[in-house]
């Protein structure tokens, strides 16, 4: 049996992940070391009024980083991985809008993947920026 690609693994993982599913995270695009995921706004994601909770934004960024780390990677026999670190800086409040996270690999080592993630609203203005390290296998 042929081993799946990282993109194939992520096309099953993201929609099947219980927490991502709970938040409504979906894949917009996957490429070689890149991922674009969307988080539609709904009132349950707000921290106050229509301001999207920072934890929901961080989850979107983390899931996008995970997807980008797997896309283009040599898939290990052991389909395990984990976020090693995620650092977020918030630029402005996201108020009642759908969000898009764009993640890209900046460097791969034997097991670790280093990434950059930007989260923006529909107007393209940055809401948050993050850096992540992900471990494959």
Percent of the chain with pLDDT over 90: 92
- Please tell me the predicted confidence (pLDDT) of residue 114: 98
For 20-39, how does the pLDDT look when each residue is reduced to its tens digit (9 = 90+)?
Answer: 999 999 999 999 999 999 99
Q: Is 90 helix (H, G, I), strand (E, B) or coil?
A: strand
The neighbour count for residue 136, using CB atoms within 10 Å, is 21
Q: Is 130 helix (H, G, I), strand (E, B) or coil?
A: strand
**114 belongs to a structural domain:** yes
- Tokens 């934890």 sit on residue: 55
The answer to whether residue 123 scores a pLDDT higher than 90 is yes
pTM, full prediction = 0.96
Token pair listed for 107: 């460097």
Read off the pLDDT of each residue in 109-122 and give the average, rounded to a whole number: 96
**132 belongs to a structural domain:** yes
**118 belongs to a structural domain:** yes
**1 belongs to a structural domain:** no
Give the CATH number, domain containing residue 29: 3.10.129.10
What's the domain range around 94?
Answer: 6-136
- Please tell me the predicted confidence (pLDDT) of residue 3: 84
**91 belongs to a structural domain:** yes
- Please tell me the predicted confidence (pLDDT) of residue 2: 82
For 66-97, how does the pLDDT look when each residue is reduced to its tens digit (9 = 90+)?
Answer: 999 999 998 888 889 999 999 999 999 999 99
**90 belongs to a structural domain:** yes
**77 belongs to a structural domain:** yes
Q: How many domains does the chain have?
A: 1
Residues 6+ apart with CB under 8 A from 64: 35, 36, 37, 101, 102, 103, 117
Q: Burial level of 128, CB count in 10 A (0-12/13-18/19+)?
A: buried
Q: Burial level of 123, CB count in 10 A (0-12/13-18/19+)?
A: exposed
């Amino acid at each position: 049996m042929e081993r799946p690609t990282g993109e194939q693994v992520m096309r099953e993982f993201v929609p099947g992940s219980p927490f991502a599913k709970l938040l409504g995270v979906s894949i917009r695009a996957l490429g070689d070391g890149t991922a674009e995921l969307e988080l539609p706004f709904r009132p349950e994601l707000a921290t106050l009024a229509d301001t999207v909770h920072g934890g929901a934004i961080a989850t979107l960024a983390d899931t996008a980083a995970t997807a980008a780390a797997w896309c283009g990677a040599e898939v290990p026999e052991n389909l395990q991985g984990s976020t090693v670190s995620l650092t977020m800086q918030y630029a402005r409040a996201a108020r009642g809008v759908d969000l898009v996270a764009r993640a890209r690999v900046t460097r791969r080592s034997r097991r670790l993947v280093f990434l950059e993630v930007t989260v923006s609203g529909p107007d393209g203005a940055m809401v948050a920026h993050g850096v992540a390290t992900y471990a494959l296998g």
